[in-house]
Amino acid sequence: MRLTILGGYLGSGKTTWLRHQLHAGAFGRVHVVVNEAAEIPVDDALLGGAEGPTVLAGGCVCCTAGADLVKALRQLCDRRSQIADPSQRLERVILETSGLADPAPIVALLQADPILTRHIVISDIIVAVDAAHGLVQLAAEPLGRRQVEAADQLIVTKLDAADPAEVARLQLTLRRLNPGATVSGSVMGSATTLPVPPIGTRPADLPALVGRAPAPLLPVRLSLGPDPDWSALGVWLSALLHARGDEIVRAKGVVRTPAGRLLLQTVRKVVQPPEILPVDDSRDGLDNGIVVIGRGFDPNDLRLSFQHFTGVAQS
Amino acid sequence: MCASCGYPAAPGHWTEAGAATAPDRLRARFRRAQVLATALKGSGLAAYDGGQVPGIQLSTLSGAQTIVPNLEALWVEAERLTGAPIDPLSPQFLIPND
């Protein structure tokens, strides 16, 4: 069963986006779990078109209400296992987090649970960013930045309500904060093309929040060569995450091993169990590499170190 | 999972996912021991994996030995024994390895 984590700052348009996507049938057979930090749930009243929703109110699942989330997801797994016909089974769970949630601890929480880790594959982390207020939030809130950094997909919402110049600046700022994520736009939840930023637009300079300014994230692509050595990759990456887990925000890649094509994904120090992907010959040139996104290191050092451990020359 | 004792609590460690058959697994363990020797060079620690018992044996120069279940636990233990984490970005690893 796949899990999509939908995050974004308070009022960034998560529910609106999700409501439209559900209405358009984008996710197939899906169950929605909504988390609200407040005691009185509102969002569930807005969400139709999906099974559920399960509402977890009165606490944020990334910290105080973690146990509730685990319980709710275990129930879903249990119910799913009792359905014999695969075509009737639940395909996906969407977890709409509260605006105060950091996606990374949620991933860690699900992995630490012995039942959920066997049933649930976290397929993507989608984060909504308000086109009009995004820049202000990113400038002031460490949480807003952590959410953006953890995302696979960033959706700039409420495009119709924002100044195009601001949107262009926001777009570039998001790309700089998280170069690994795709950025798309939406109006009332339906996908809208983002305007191409005019030449000369500069990303906003985000002020330091505590102490010195965090360096921007850098993506580094590392190649494993035609005959990848998973053992060497494992030794290197596990040591790197142990020593510098807070600086390596994300690592992602597809590696062909004797056990199949493995999808490797990490969120900070947490590595998800590698998922075996179907064989796809069209991706010949793209497999057998990993992208490491982080800060606080020289990309060239990373390449040299990787070469030292795996013996594969990096260009 | 065993309902009474909970073993194994988690599926195999991610670093061991690259091999599915028994011969592949053994080969991967030997290769892992080889790469570990590179990683631990100069730290005063040595790792040994004979392929017979589960886990990796980690020993110090003074002869203290411990068995760790996987690489993640190994780095934690190595940091405890040497006082600092083994950092792949430290200068000794930034030169070609022959």
In B, minimum Cα distance to A304 occurs at B94
CATH number, domain with residue A166: 3.40.50.300
The answer to whether residue A212 sits within a structural domain is no
pLDDT for residue A147 is more than 50: yes
Q: What is the pLDDT of residues B61-87, one digit of tens each?
A: 999 999 998 999 999 999 999 999 999
Same domain for A289 and A142: no
Around Cβ A81, how many Cβ atoms within 10 Å? 11
pLDDT bracket for residue A215 (50, 70, 90): low
Q: Which of A42-46, A198-202, B14-18 shows the lowest mean pLDDT across its residues?
A: A42-46
pLDDT for residue B88 is more than 90: yes
The answer to whether residue B57 sits within a structural domain is yes
The answer to whether residue A199 sits within a structural domain is no
The answer to whether residue A267 sits within a structural domain is yes
The answer to whether residue A205 sits within a structural domain is no
Q: Which of A46-50, A195-199, A276-280 shows the lowest mean pLDDT across its residues?
A: A46-50
pLDDT bracket for residue A236 (50, 70, 90): very high
Structure tokens at A56: 């977890």
Listed in sequence order, the residues at least 6 apart from A48 whose beta carbon sits closer than 8 Å to its beta carbon are A19, A22, A23
Residue after which a domain boundary falls, among A124, A158, A192: A192
Same domain for A233 and A161: no
Provide, as residue numbers in chain B, all residues whose Cβ is less than 8 Å from the Cβ of A116.
Answer: none
Q: Is A230 on the interface with B (CB under 8 A)?
A: yes
- Residue linked to tokens 């996104």: A293
Return the axis-axis angle of helices A66-81 and A103-112, rounded to nearest 10°: 50
pLDDT at A178: 86
The answer to whether residue A227 sits within a structural domain is yes
The answer to whether residue B93 sits within a structural domain is no
The answer to whether residue A200 sits within a structural domain is no
pLDDT at B40: 93
Same domain for A17 and A157: yes
Give the residue numbers spanning the domain of A150: 2-192
Are A22 and A32 spatial neighbours (Cβ–Cβ below 8 Å)?
yes
Q: Maximum Cα–Cα distance for chain A, whole Å?
A: 58
Same domain for A172 and A62: yes
Note whether B15 contacts A240, CB cutoff 8 Å: no
pLDDT bracket for residue B5 (50, 70, 90): low
Mean pLDDT of B55-59: 92
Cα gap A240→A186, rounded to integer Å: 37
pLDDT at A37: 61
Mean pLDDT across chain A: 81
Note whether B20 contacts A117, CB cutoff 8 Å: no
Mean pLDDT of A90-96: 86
pLDDT for residue B36 is more than 90: yes
Same domain for A105 and A168: yes
The answer to whether residue B73 sits within a structural domain is yes
The answer to whether residue B13 sits within a structural domain is no
Same domain for A148 and A68: yes
pLDDT for residue B33 is more than 60: yes
pLDDT at B81: 92
CATH number, domain with residue A294: 3.30.1220.10
Contacts with A, B 28-47, CB within 8 Å? 28-29, 31-32, 35-36, 38-39
pLDDT at A314: 84
Same domain for A281 and A137: no
Around Cβ A40, how many Cβ atoms within 10 Å? 7
For an interface test with B, give the residue of A230, A295, A314 to mutate (most B CBs within 10 A).
Answer: A230
Q: Give the containing element (helix H, strand E) for A192.
A: strand A190-192
Q: Is B20 on the interface with A (CB under 8 A)?
A: yes
For an interface test with A, give the residue of B2, B5, B15, B90 to mutate (most A CBs within 10 A).
Answer: B15
The answer to whether residue B6 sits within a structural domain is no
Cα gap B83→B60, rounded to integer Å: 13
pLDDT at A291: 84
The answer to whether residue B95 sits within a structural domain is no
How buried is residue B78: exposed, middle or buried, by Cβ count under 10 Å (0-12/13-18/19+)? Answer: buried
pLDDT bracket for residue B4 (50, 70, 90): low
Same domain for A174 and A27: yes
Note whether A259 contacts B20, CB cutoff 8 Å: yes
As for how many domains chain A has, the answer is 2
Q: What is the pLDDT of residues A245-274, one digit of tens each?
A: 878 877 888 899 988 888 888 877 778 788
pLDDT at A39: 46
Relative to beta strand A248-257, strand A260-267 is antiparallel
The answer to whether residue A247 sits within a structural domain is yes
3-state DSSP of A52-103: EEEEEECCCCCCCCHHHHHHHHHHHHHHHHCCCCHHHCCCEEEEECCCCCCH
As for how many domains chain B has, the answer is 1
- Of B10, B76, B96, which is closest to A117 when you measure between CB atoms? B10
pLDDT at A160: 81
pLDDT at A49: 47
Contacts with B, A 92-131, CB within 8 Å? 111, 114-115, 117-118
The answer to whether residue A197 sits within a structural domain is no
Cα gap A188→A266, rounded to integer Å: 32
The answer to whether residue B9 sits within a structural domain is no
- Of B10, B18, B94, which is closest to A308 when you measure between CB atoms? B94
Same domain for A110 and A11: yes
Provide, as residue numbers in chain B, all residues whose Cβ is less than 8 Å from the Cβ of A304.
Answer: 93-95
Same domain for A164 and A252: no
In A, minimum Cα distance to B32 occurs at A231
Give the residue numbers spanning the domain of B52: 18-83
Cα gap B77→A117, rounded to integer Å: 25
- Start-end of H helices in chain A: 14-23, 43-46, 66-81, 103-112, 116-119, 134-140, 142-150, 164-177, 230-244, 299-310
The answer to whether residue B54 sits within a structural domain is yes
Closest among B62, B87, B52, B58 to B73, alpha carbons compared = B58
Same domain for A162 and A47: yes
pLDDT for residue B34 is more than 90: yes
